[in-house]
């Protein structure tokens, strides 16, 4: 398998981001991103101007973040822009699907902070919707805002411990919802930064709030492809989007520790499958899990329940009965509590 690292959910100047797509791509390449996904609010202007494609070693894919007031939906493969139907998210999902697009519920459990953006938040409101491909399980800026409950904390974090707000991990409520859904059908998960890099001005001080280069080194989505990424941009984009749709991917906060090389697969005597795939149960069926850092705590979750925890960095786990399996890896620092680090997509054992 070939592993590629991407940064997803990025805003450019075509909406409320602060840099152009070529500028963002330049920073992404410097940060070692194999691909990035630009999702400006309610516009496909970047794509219409032909700004997607390769920028050096980095592939730029342009989708859109649909709906403004609530029910934000990250959509890709769109032939044309879908109208804002903030109050009817099923319509948004269906319109994307009808034109062959794929989509993810963006920061579905967003809570906001009274200190930032006048307390505004943009959660998902209708949990009965159908037909979406996946969810954005972990969103850097959403979580950052949500944890900011005092100005002092905000200031301290920003200057001294920027990734502290991420130590609570993906929202518990959303993990539960996802586990419920995946027992009924396959739903993939991605991670995003929601990068805007807002310019800041505080008295004489000027700066950029959570700049792009910083965010590229935080929550990433790592995809696994059976073939190398193609040189032709359209083919490479299709490969990446297919992996995201299928869930051949895991989410990692690379600010905690580099997550390249994480392995989660299921195998029996005849075959081995990866994340996002299905395999039939038999007496030999086992899971293979391996973390790239020895300071790991691996947690195996089956049908939404924690079934096994170990401080080893790799293991073979025998599967006794079918179910939907996923893995979380926490990083164990020398001092302090283990930190949420990696979330796998599920393997479906039938
Ligand atoms: Zn949003
Ligand atoms: Zn956004």
- pLDDT tens sequence across 17-45: 999 999 999 999 999 999 999 999 999 99
- Which residues are within 5 Å of ligand 2 (an ion), measured at CB? 65, 194
Residues 193 and 339 placed together within one structural domain of the fold: no
Residue 341 forms part of a structural domain: yes
User: Residue 196 CA: which ligand is closest?
Assistant: 2
Residues 74 and 137 placed together within one structural domain of the fold: yes
Residue 258 forms part of a structural domain: no
Coil, strand, or helix at residue 137?
Answer: strand
Higher pLDDT, 146 or 314: 314
Residue ranges of alpha helices (H) inside the chain are: 21-30, 45-48, 89-98, 140-147, 151-160, 172-182, 212-215, 233-246
Domain boundary at 253, 273, 307, which?
A: 253
Residue 280 forms part of a structural domain: yes
Q: Count how many domains the chain has.
A: 2
Domain with 314 in it: 263-349
Tens of pLDDT, residues 102-155: 999 999 998 877 777 777 888 899 999 999 999 999 999 888 888 777 777 777
pLDDT score of 240: 98
- Cα–Cα distance for residue pair 48/298, rounded to 1 Å: 44
pLDDT score of 243: 98
The chain-wide mean pLDDT, for the chain, equals: 94
Tens of pLDDT, residues 44-55: 999 999 999 999
Residues 278 and 236 placed together within one structural domain of the fold: no
What distance in angstroms lies between residue 167's CA and the mean position of ligand 1's atoms? Answer: 21
Domain boundary at 219, 253, 287, which?
A: 253
- Global pTM value: 0.95
- Cα–Cα distance for residue pair 53/234, rounded to 1 Å: 7
User: Residue 64 CA: which ligand is closest?
Assistant: 2
Which range among 81-85, 113-117, 266-270 shows the weakest confidence by mean pLDDT? 113-117
Whether 314 has a pLDDT exceeding 90, the answer reads yes
Mean pLDDT of 59-65: 98
263 and 290 Cβ atoms separated by less than 8 Å: yes
pLDDT score of 113: 74
- Cα–Cα distance for residue pair 39/192, rounded to 1 Å: 10
φ, ψ at 91 (rounded to 5°): -65, -40
What distance in angstroms lies between residue 60's CA and the mean position of ligand 1's atoms? Answer: 19
- Cα–Cα distance for residue pair 323/214, rounded to 1 Å: 38
User: Residue 194 CA: which ligand is closest?
Assistant: 2
Whether 271 has a pLDDT exceeding 80, the answer reads yes
Residues 105 and 246 placed together within one structural domain of the fold: yes
Mean pLDDT of 311-330: 97
What distance in angstroms lies between residue 138's CA and the mean position of ligand 1's atoms? Answer: 12
């Amino acid at each position: 398998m070939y592993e590629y690292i991407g940064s997803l959910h990025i805003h450019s100047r075509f909406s409320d981001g602060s840099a152009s797509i070529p500028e963002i791509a330049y920073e992404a390449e410097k940060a070692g991103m194999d691909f990035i996904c630009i999702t400006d609010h309610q516009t496909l202007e970047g794509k219409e101007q032909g700004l997607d494609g390769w920028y050096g070693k980095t592939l730029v894919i342009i989708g859109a973040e649909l709906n403004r007031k609530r029910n934000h939906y990250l959509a890709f493969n769109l032939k044309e822009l879908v109208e804002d139907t903030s109050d009817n998210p099923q319509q948004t999902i269906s319109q994307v699907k009808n034109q062959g697009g794929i989509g993810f519920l963006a920061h579905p459990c967003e809570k906001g902070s009274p200190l930032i953006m006048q307390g505004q938040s943009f959660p998902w409101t209708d949990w009965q919707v159908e037909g979406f491909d996946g969810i954005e399980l972990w969103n850097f800026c959403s979580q950052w805002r949500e944890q900011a409950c005092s100005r002092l904390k905000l200031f301290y974090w920003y200057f001294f411990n920027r990734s502290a707000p991420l130590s609570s991990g993906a929202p518990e409520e959303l993990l539960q919802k996802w586990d419920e859904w995946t027992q009924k059908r396959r739903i993939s998960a991605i991670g995003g930064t929601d990068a805007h890099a807002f310019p800041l001005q505080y008295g004489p001080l000027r700066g950029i709030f959570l700049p792009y280069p910083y965010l590229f080194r935080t929550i990433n989505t790592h995809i696994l492809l059976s073939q190398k990424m193609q040189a032709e941009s359209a083919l490479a984009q299709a490969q990446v989007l297919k992996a995201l749709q299928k869930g051949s991917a895991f989410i990692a906060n690379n600010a905690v520790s580099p997550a390249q090389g994480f392995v989660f697969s299921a195998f029996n005597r005849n075959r081995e499958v990866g994340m996002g795939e299905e395999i039939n149960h038999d007496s030999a069926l086992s899971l293979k899990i391996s973390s790239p850092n020895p300071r790991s705590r691996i947690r195996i979750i089956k049908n939404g329940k924690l079934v096994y925890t170990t401080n080893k960095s790799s293991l073979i786990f025998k599967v006794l009965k079918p179910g939907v399996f996923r893995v979380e890896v926490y990083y164990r620092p020398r001092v302090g509590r283990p930190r949420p680090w990696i979330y796998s997509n599920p393997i479906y054992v039938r």
